[in-house]
Structure 1
Amino acid sequence: MANERRRMGGRGQMPVEKAKDFKGSIGKLFAYMKQYHAAVAVVILCAIASTVFSVIGPDILGKATTELSNGLLAKIQGTGSIDFTKIGQILLFVLGLYLLSTLFSFVQGWLMTGVTQKVCYRMRKDISEKIDRMPMAYFESRTYGEVLSRITNDVDTLGQSLNQSITQIITSVATMVGVLVMMLRISPLMTLIAVVILPISVTLISLVVKKSQKYFKQQQEYLGHINGQVEETYAGHTVIQAYNKEKDMVQQFQETNDTLYHSAWKSQFLSGLMQPIMMFVGNLGYAAVALSGGLLAIRGTITIGDIQAFIQYVKNFTQPMQQIAQVLNQVQSMAAASERVFEFLEEAEEVQTAEHPLELANVEGNVDFQHVSFGYQPEQCVIHDFSAKVKSGQKIAIVGPTGAGKTTMVKLLMRFYDVSGGAILLDGHDVRDFDRHKLRESFGMVLQDTWLFQGTIMENIRYGRLDATDEEVIAAAKAAHADSFIRQLPDGYQMELNEDASNVSQGQKQLLTIARAILADNRVMILDEATSSVDTRTEILIQKAMDHLMEGRTSFIIAHRLSTIRNADMILVMKDGDIIEQGTHEELLERNGFYADLYRSQFAQTA
C-alpha cells in the first residue's frame, strides 16, 4: 500500500509517477480506443460548443449593463428612460446561451463517462484473459500485489484521468482562446495589462513549487516507511512482545512519525500559499483592469458594460490556466498507468497449443521421463539428467533435500515450464504435443498450501467438477474423510468460508482440497507435501483420504516425511537435480545409501 501511495501521488504538488515513454503510451491508449474515436470526436465538438456559448455570455451581459447605465443617465438628464424590454430580451438571450452551454456540457460529460467506463471494462477483461495465458515464470518473478495493481489501481487511475483530462484540456484551451479573442475585441490595451500580470503569478508559483517539492517527496517516502512499520508491527506483535521490544518499536515509530510530521507540515504550508498568491496577483490584475478601464470609459473608448465583461473575462482567463496545470499531473498519471497496463498486455504469452495438438480419448496414466534436463535460467541447470518410467496406477514417491528439484519435476510434467532437453511422455506421447489446457485436465493436484475461496464448503468442493450434483460432492467428502467434520460445522455443507478460510483448521482445509481432487477424478495425481503442516493425528486421517484418492491412479507424491511413503511402488531419491537412487522402501534401506541415511536421521530426530 505504501508503494502504491508513493506511485499514485496525492494532494497539492505531490510528485506523480511519470511514464518512461509519454508519447508512446498516450499513442497506444488512443489506438486502443480506436472504436470510440467517433464518440470522442463528438465529445470534443460538444466541449467546444459549450465553451463558445459560455464565453459569449459575459459580452452579451455587458450590453445589458451598458443599456441599464445609458438608461439611468438618460433618466437623470431627462432625455429618456430605462428600456427594460430590451434589457429583458438581452437577459433572456444570455439565459438561452448558458442553457445551451449547459446542455452541450451535459452531453459531453455523459458521452465521455460512457467511453471511459467501456475502456476500463475492456482493459480489465483483457488483463483478466491475459493472466490465463501468462507463463508461470512471470508470476513467480513478481509479487501478487504488483499484478493486482494493474487491474485495480492502474486501470482506475487511467479511467479517472481519461474521463477528466480530455474534456478539461479541451474546455480550458477553448476557454483561453475564446476569452483572449473577446478581451482583444473589447480593448487591446487592457488585454496587454491583464496578460503582463500572468508571468508574475507563474514565477511566484514556480518558486513555491520548487521549494515544496522536496518536502512532498520526503512526506511520501516517510508515509511509506510509517505504513510499513505499522504493518510489520501488527503482523509480528506476538514476537515483539515475546522479546520485550515494545519500547524499541515505539521509539522507531516515533522517529519516523516525527520526520513525517515536519515534512508534511512544511509541504502543506507551502502548498497552502499557492491560493493566496494566486488571489493576490489576481486582485492586482483586477485593480489594474478597473483603473485602466475607468480611464478608457471616461474617454469614451469603451462602455461600462465592456469593463464588467472584461473583468469577468480576466477571471475566466486565469482559471483555465490553473485547471490545465492540475490536469497535466493527471495526464502524467494516465500515461504512467497506461504504460504499465500495456506493458502487461504485451508480455510474452505461454504457447497453449501445439501446431497439431494431440487429443487422447482415454488417458491411462503411463509417464516416461527420458533424460530430462531443465534450468529456470539458461545458465543455471536445476535438473541435469532425470530418467524414470512410471506405469499406469503406480504410486511414485519423490524425495530428497530442499532444492533437489522435486517440485520442478511436477511443474515440467504439467507444462508450467517446458524441458530444456530430453522429453516427458504421457501414454507414449510427448507432453509438448498436447494443448496445455487439455493436458492439465488429466492431472489433479493437492498442494501443501491449500487454496480455498470465499464461498460455501459445497461450492469449494464442487470447484473440482462444476457439473457435479450435491450427492456426488457429499460422496467425495466422505471418501476424503471430511464428511464427519463438515456436518459438525454450523450450516454444514452450506457454511460460508471467509476470505482466507481461517474459520476452519489447516487439516480440515487439506481434507477439503482432497475431496475436491477426488471429485475431479483425474487419471494422474500429484501430491506435493500435502501432510507437512498438520499434526500426526490429522496426518493419519489425511493419509487415509490420500490412499483413497490414489486408488487406480498414477500418483506422484513429494514428501519430506518419509514415513508417509513407505508403501510407494517406487521411490525416486533426488539430489542436485539427478536421481541418485530408486527402488521400494525396503530395497533402498537394504542398500544403506543416501535414502537410508535420510530415513534414519528423521527417526533419530523424532526419537
Structure 2
Amino acid sequence: MSDSPAQSAAQPSATFDRRATGPQFGGGMARRGAPVVKPHDMHGTLRRLLDVTRGHRRGLGRVFALSGLGAASSVLSPLLIGMVIDHISARTSVVFVLALLAGLYVADWLIDFGKQWMMAAVGQRIVLHLRLSLFEAMERLPLRFFDRHQHGELMSRLTNDVDNISSTISDSLAQLMVYAFTIVGTLVCMLWLSVPLTAVSLVSVMLVLLLARTVTRRTRPLFATQQRVLGELDGHVEETVSGLATVKSYGQEQAMIDDFERLNERLCVTATRAQTWSGFMMPLSNAINNFGFLLVAVVSGVMAARGAIGIGVVSSFLLYVRQFSRPFVDIANIYNTFQTAVAGAERMFQIMDEEPEPADRADAVSVDRPNGEIVFDHVSFGYDPDHPVIHDVSLTIPAGSRVAFVGQTGSGKTTMVNLVTRFYDPDAGRILLDGRDLRDYQMTSLRHAFGSVLQEPSLFEDTVAANIAFGRPDATRDQIRDAARAAGADGFIERLENGYDTVLTGGGSALSQGERQLLTIARALLADAPIVILDEATSAVDTVTEQSIRRAMIRMTSGRTSIVIAHRLSTIRDSDLIVVFSHGRIVEQGTHESLMATGGTYARMVADQRA
C-alpha cells in the first residue's frame, strides 16, 4: 500500500531495531542452562492455565495417580532391599522378598511407560487447544495491533512459547509430580526408620537449597540478557534473509555480516557467563550431597555398631539419602523451565486479552447488496492518535461511480481505503454507506461487500485455483477459469506445470510480480463484490499487461462503486471523479477534463508524468 502505517511518519516503525535492548520473545525451550524468563504474574497466569485444562482434568488425574504409584515403587524399593539384607544376615530365605522386589521393578517400568504415554497425549491436546485459541485471537485482532508488533515476535509467541508450554506439560509436569510424591514418601520412610539420621540428612538438603537460591539469583539476570540478545540476533537474521535482494543490490553483505558477528559475540559472551554460573550448580550440589551421604554413613555406622539400628536399616537409609537429595536439584531446573513456560503463557494471554476488532452493535444490520454510495463526513484519523494523517475530510462518492484517489506517497490515499473497509475506525467524524454509519453494519457482511486488489499481491501456499477462489470457496472450476480469462491470467496459468492445480509456494515466488497481480485481480473478479477497491493494481506490470489489466478493471468496475488508487494517471482518466490528496487533505476534486482546465495540482502531476 502506498501509505501504509509502517510508511507513515506518524506511525511507529515496525522494523527491527538491532540496537534495542527491550525484551524479545524469541528463544527456545527452557532447559538446564537455557534462558529463563520470569513471568510478571505467576499466580494469575497459573490460574488461567488451570482454566485451560478444565476439559482435560480427567486425563491429568490419571497421570497424577500413575505418578503417585510410580513414586510409591521408588519409595518401597529401598525398604525391600533393606529387608533382603536383613534376611541374608539372619540366614533366612530371601526368595519371597526378591520376588516382591522384582515385581516392584517391573510394575515401576509399566507405570512409567503408561504415565509418559498418557501425559504426552493429554499435554498435546492441551497445547492444541492453546494454539487454536491463540490463532483465533490473532485472527480477531485489528490491524492496529499488527502495526505495533513485529511479525517475527508474534510468530515466536505462536511457536516458541507454545512449545515451551508443551515441553512443560508433557515432560516437566509429570516429573514434578513424581518428585513431589518421592520426596514426601521418602521423608516419611526416613522418619519411620530413624529420626536422628533424618535430622542429619536434612543438613545437606538445606545446603543444596541455599546453593540453588544463590546460583539462581546470579543466573536469572544473565539468562534474561541472553534471551534479549538472542531475540536481537533472531530479528537480524529474519530481516536480513527477507531483505536479501536489497542487501545484495546495495552491496551491504559485509555490513550485515559485521552486525551478525557483533550480536553473535555479545550472545557468546553473555551465554558463557550464564552457563558458567549455571554450571556451578551440579558439581557443588553433588559435593554437598556426597558430604551429606558420608556424614549419614558415619553416623549410621556408629549407631549400628552400638546396636541402635540394624544393618538392613543402614542400607535402606543410605539409599533413601541418595533418593531424597537428588530431586531437589532437578526440581530447581524444572522450576526454571516452569517459569519460562508460564512466561510464554503470559505472553499468549496478553494477545488473547488484546481488544479485538469492535464487536457488532446489538442492532447492527447486514449489508446484502448495497447501492454503494459512500460519504466521508468530517473524518479525521491517525495511526498514532497524536499524529493524525487524515484531517477533517468530507467527500461524497455517488453509487456506481468510478472514483480515483491520487497524490504523493503518504498523502492519505490508502488510509482512506482502510477506513472505508473498517480496518480502522475514524477518530472523529463518520463514514456512511447508503446513508448509514459503517458501524451500524455487521462487520463480516460489510467486508464481503468489498473486493480489493492491493499493491502487494498476497498469495497462499495452495493451488492456483484455490488462490483465485479464496474469496468464494464454492466457485466451480468453470467460474474460476472465466475469472482468470477476464483478468488476462488464463494464458500463463495454462503454461504452468499443472495448470490451475499448480501449488504456489513462497507466496507465488516462482511467478513474476505482474502474474501474481493478475491472480489477485482474478480473485476480485470472481468474488463479484458490489464495491471494488484497486490500490496501485498496475504498479508492478509492464505497459502491455497494464492494458490487459485496465480492460479487466473496466469490466470489474462496470455498474459498481469503485475506488482506484493509482500513480499512473493514464489509467484513471476515464474516472467519474478524481480526488487529489495532499498531507491528509483533499486539495482538488473533479473529472480529468475539469482538473486539467484549472491547471492545479493534478494538472502539474499529469505534466510531470508526460515529461
State if a TM-score over 0.5 links the two structures.
Answer: yes
Shift of 1:20: 1.0
- Give the distance between the partners of 2:139 and 2:269, measured in 1 at CA: 47
Alignment correspondent of 1:288? 295
Alignment correspondent of 1:392? 399
Give the aligned CA root-mean-square deviation in angstroms: 2.9
The answer on 1:588 being equivalent to 2:595 is yes
Alignment correspondent of 1:24? 44
- Give the distance between the partners of 1:257 and 1:439, measured in 2 at CA: 49
- Give the distance between the partners of 1:36 and 1:123, measured in 2 at CA: 12
Alignment correspondent of 1:142? 149
The answer on 1:69 being equivalent to 2:89 is yes
Q: 1:318 aligns with which of 298, 322, 325?
A: 325
What's the secondary structure of 1:384's corresponding residue? strand
Equivalence map 1:135-534=2 (5 Å): 135-203=142-210, 220=227, 223-224=230-231, 257-258=264-265, 260-265=267-272, 267-534=274-541
Distance 1:251 1:64, change over 3 A: same
Report the TM-score, using the length of structure 2 for normalisation: 0.88
Shift of 1:484: 1.2
- Give the distance between the partners of 1:246 and 1:521, measured in 2 at CA: 46
Shift of 1:593: 1.2
Give the counterpart letter for 1:16 in structure 2. Answer: V
Given that residues 511 and 545 in structure 1 are in contact (C-alpha distance below 8 angstroms), is that contact kept between their aligned partners in structure 2?
no
Given that residues 397 and 568 in structure 1 are in contact (C-alpha distance below 8 angstroms), is that contact kept between their aligned partners in structure 2?
yes
Shift of 1:479: 0.5
- Give the distance between the partners of 2:144 and 2:249, measured in 1 at CA: 39
What's the secondary structure of 2:90's corresponding residue? helix
- CA deviations 1:471-517 (Å, max 9, x no partner) are 11111111001111212222222222112211000000000100111
- Give the distance between the partners of 2:443 and 2:25, measured in 1 at CA: 39
Given that residues 27 and 231 in structure 2 are in contact (C-alpha distance below 8 angstroms), is that contact kept between their aligned partners in structure 1?
no
Given that residues 57 and 97 in structure 1 are in contact (C-alpha distance below 8 angstroms), is that contact kept between their aligned partners in structure 2?
yes
The answer on 1:56 being equivalent to 2:76 is yes
Give the counterpart letter for 2:554 in structure 1. Answer: D
What's the secondary structure of 1:191's corresponding residue? helix
What's the secondary structure of 1:316's corresponding residue? helix
Distance 1:252 1:351, change over 3 A: closer
- Give the distance between the partners of 1:429 and 1:376, measured in 2 at CA: 24
Larger radius of gyration: 1
Equivalence map 1:82-93=2 (5 Å): 83-84=92-93, 87-93=94-100
Q: After alignment, is 131-140 or 266-275 more displaced?
A: 266-275
Distance 1:428 1:217, change over 3 A: closer
- CA deviations 1:143-195 (Å, max 9, x no partner) are 22233333222222122212334333332122112112212222223223322
- Give the distance between the partners of 2:540 and 2:128, measured in 1 at CA: 41
- CA deviations 1:547-572 (Å, max 9, x no partner) are 22222221100112222211111101
Given that residues 352 and 437 in structure 1 are in contact (C-alpha distance below 8 angstroms), is that contact kept between their aligned partners in structure 2?
no
What's the secondary structure of 2:32's corresponding residue? coil
**More contact order relative to length (CA 8 Å, sep ≥ 6):** 2
- Give the distance between the partners of 2:345 and 2:595, measured in 1 at CA: 58
Given that residues 15 and 217 in structure 1 are in contact (C-alpha distance below 8 angstroms), is that contact kept between their aligned partners in structure 2?
yes
Distance 1:369 1:134, change over 3 A: same
What's the secondary structure of 2:376's corresponding residue? strand
Shift of 1:19: 1.1
- Give the distance between the partners of 2:89 and 2:413, measured in 1 at CA: 94
What's the secondary structure of 2:375's corresponding residue? strand
- Give the distance between the partners of 1:362 and 1:123, measured in 2 at CA: 38
Q: 1:569 aligns with which of 568, 576, 584?
A: 576
Distance 1:242 1:354, change over 3 A: closer
Alignment correspondent of 2:32? 12
Corresponding residue pairs, total: 591
Given that residues 38 and 343 in structure 2 are in contact (C-alpha distance below 8 angstroms), is that contact kept between their aligned partners in structure 1?
yes
What's the secondary structure of 1:455's corresponding residue? coil
Q: 1:115 aligns with which of 104, 122, 129?
A: 122
Alignment correspondent of 1:79? none
Shift of 1:371: 3.3
The answer on 1:36 being equivalent to 2:36 is no
- CA deviations 1:412-447 (Å, max 9, x no partner) are 211222234443332333322210111111110000
Q: After alignment, is 239-248 or 366-375 more displaced?
A: 239-248
Shift of 1:237: 6.2
What's the secondary structure of 1:189's corresponding residue? helix
Give the counterpart letter for 1:57 in structure 2. Answer: S
Give the counterpart letter for 2:50 in structure 1. Answer: F
Given that residues 458 and 493 in structure 1 are in contact (C-alpha distance below 8 angstroms), is that contact kept between their aligned partners in structure 2?
yes
The answer on 1:599 being equivalent to 2:610 is no
Distance 1:444 1:158, change over 3 A: same
- CA deviations 1:104-162 (Å, max 9, x no partner) are 44454444333322222222222232233222222222222233333222222122212
Shift of 1:317: 0.6
Q: After alignment, is 202-211 or 502-511 more displaced?
A: 202-211
What's the secondary structure of 1:496's corresponding residue? coil
Given that residues 13 and 209 in structure 1 are in contact (C-alpha distance below 8 angstroms), is that contact kept between their aligned partners in structure 2?
no
The answer on 1:537 being equivalent to 2:538 is no
Shift of 1:224: 4.9
Give the counterpart letter for 1:290 in structure 2. Answer: A
Q: After alignment, is 53-62 or 544-553 more displaced?
A: 544-553
Q: Which runs of 5+ in 2 are unaligned?
A: 1-15
Shift of 1:378: 4.4
Shift of 1:10: 4.6
- Give the distance between the partners of 1:46 and 1:467, measured in 2 at CA: 50
- Give the distance between the partners of 1:22 and 1:578, measured in 2 at CA: 49
Shift of 1:357: 2.5
- CA deviations 1:254-306 (Å, max 9, x no partner) are 55555555554554455444333333333323333333222222222222222
Shift of 1:406: 1.4
Identity score, percent: 39
